[in-house]
Amino acid sequence: MELCVELARFDLGTSFLLFGHDQHKHAKLFRIDGPGHAIDLNALKFGVIGSGYDMAMASLRRPPPLNFLLENTIYRILEAKFSAETATGVGETTTVVLRNREGIVTLLPRPEIEAIRKIWREQVADQADPPDAIAIIEASSAVKDAAGER
């Protein structure tokens, strides 16, 4: 009994994403935290763990793409990973593993991931602040007061 209690208290200090398919081939996703703490992520339909959690979640919570094609989903996941790389401990090495309902596993080639990363970086760098929003801020009396222009 003492051993069972000790095992129940043991904490690796890490989290895991657990993915699979049920007997009807429906996808299932859970996050496992601490000793025996499972979180069902099936309603959310995605999961994030690690030090890059906040950046990845912010990326994934953008408005969804107009379609839910596999290609768009893979891009959004890569975008979240690239965003998470600003966090301490998140490296640039990225592996994309694809598994279909029949259990066939394929990897997205690393050169393709790096080409996507390059495009993503260029897109982020090219995103200027929206001029219409900047004009509203510039005209704001609150901003003029804060800048001492009144």
Q: Which residues of 55-72 are buried (b: 16+ CB within 10 A; e: fewer)?
A: bbeebbeeeeeeeeeeee
Tens of pLDDT, residues 131-140: 888 888 888 8
Tokens of 37: 């703490």
pLDDT of 142 strictly over 90: no
How does the average pLDDT of the chain come out, rounded?
87
**pLDDT > 90? residue 112:** yes
Question: Nearest CA to 18 among 3, 1, 4, 37?
Answer: 37
- The whole-angstrom separation of Cα 29 and Cα 22 is 10
150: pLDDT strictly greater than 70: no
Q: What is the pLDDT of residues 30-66, one digit of tens each?
A: 998 877 788 999 998 889 999 999 999 998 888 876 7
Which is it for the CA torsion 32, 37, 38, 41, positive or negative?
negative
pLDDT confidence tier of residue 89, bands split at 50, 70 and 90: very high
Residue 48 has, within 13 A of its CA and on its CB side, a CA count of 21
Asked if the model's pLDDT at residue 94 lies above 90, the reply is: yes
Query: What is the mean pLDDT of the segment spanning 3-11?
Result: 78
Residue 108: closest CA among 70, 142, 146, 135: 70
Q: Is 50 helix (H, G, I), strand (E, B) or coil?
A: coil
Entry pTM? 0.74
CA–CA distance, 12 with 33 (Å, rounded to integer): 9
Lowest-confidence region among 2-11, 37-46, 126-135: 2-11
**Res 27: pLDDT:** 86
